[in-house]
Amino acid sequence: MPLSLKENLEIIAGMVAIFVLDVVAGAEISYGSVFSSSASQTIGIINDIGAVIFVIITVLTIIAILINRRSVVLRIFVLYLIVATVQTVANIAALLVTTHVRNDNYLWGLFDIGAAYLMIVSVFTGWYWVSDRLIKNGAFVFPARDNQEPPQPNLIDYLFIAFNTNATFGPTSESVVSRRVKLIMMSQTTMSLVILLVLVARIIGLQRTG
d(C-alpha 127, C-alpha 69), whole Å: 19
pTM over cut 0.75: yes
Which pLDDT band holds residue 37 (cuts at 50, 70, 90)? low
Whole-angstrom CA distances from 90 to 59, 77, 78 are 25, 20, 18
Q: Is the dihedral of CA 22, 196, 178, 172 positive or negative?
A: negative
Contacts of 58 (CB under 8 A, 6+ apart): 12, 15
The answer to whether 88 and 125 are in contact (CB under 8 A) is no
Range(s) of the domain holding residue 200: 5-209
- What pLDDT is recorded for position 115? 79
d(C-alpha 130, C-alpha 77), whole Å: 8
Whole-angstrom CA distances from 39 to 25, 98, 120, 159 are 16, 10, 21, 31
**pLDDT (tens digit per residue) in 143-173:** 877 777 777 888 888 989 999 898 877 767 7
- What pLDDT is recorded for position 107? 54
Q: What is the mean pLDDT of the chain?
A: 79
Q: Which residue has the higher pLDDT, 17 or 103?
A: 17
Task: Please give the tally of structural domains in the chain.
Answer: 1
